[in-house]
Amino acid sequence: MISALLVALAGGLGAAARFQSDALIARAGRWRLPIATLVINTLGSLLLGLVSGWVTFHGGAPEWVSVAGTGFCGGFTTFSTASVEGWRLLRAGRAAAAALHAGGGLIAGVLAAFLGLWLMSL
């Protein structure tokens, strides 16, 4: 029961961090692509890679993967927002931008997760 509460609390903190980060990135400039989601999802992937790597390579508590990964990263990142943003780009006739958004987000997330795992393996 305590683990579920910690995951829920971390998820709420992740969602609040996403909201604040999105606003900060939006204020930093006008972007032609939905850059905030890309940045946030990439950072979340890096964090999950770091936490998973810490548990795997340094004997950290496995519960941290649930709390930080499922909880915080789950609340912080969002596949659904990225999907809707891609659909909006397609609907606006910007197929190349939609492909860049979807492909770039996938590649950036996977590379960030691998980077976090690699850093923790050192």
81 is in an annotated binding site: no
Kindly state the DSSP code that residue 72 receives in the 8-state scheme: I
Contacts of 34 (CB under 8 A, 6+ apart): 81, 82, 85, 89, 101
42 is in an annotated binding site: no
Kindly state the DSSP code that residue 102 receives in the 8-state scheme: H
Rounded (5°) CA angle 21-25-29 = 165
- A 10 A CB-CB count for 42 gives 21
76 φ, ψ (degrees, to nearest 5): -80, -45
Residues tagged in the binding site annotation: 74, 77
Residues tagged in the binding site annotation for Na(+): 74, 77
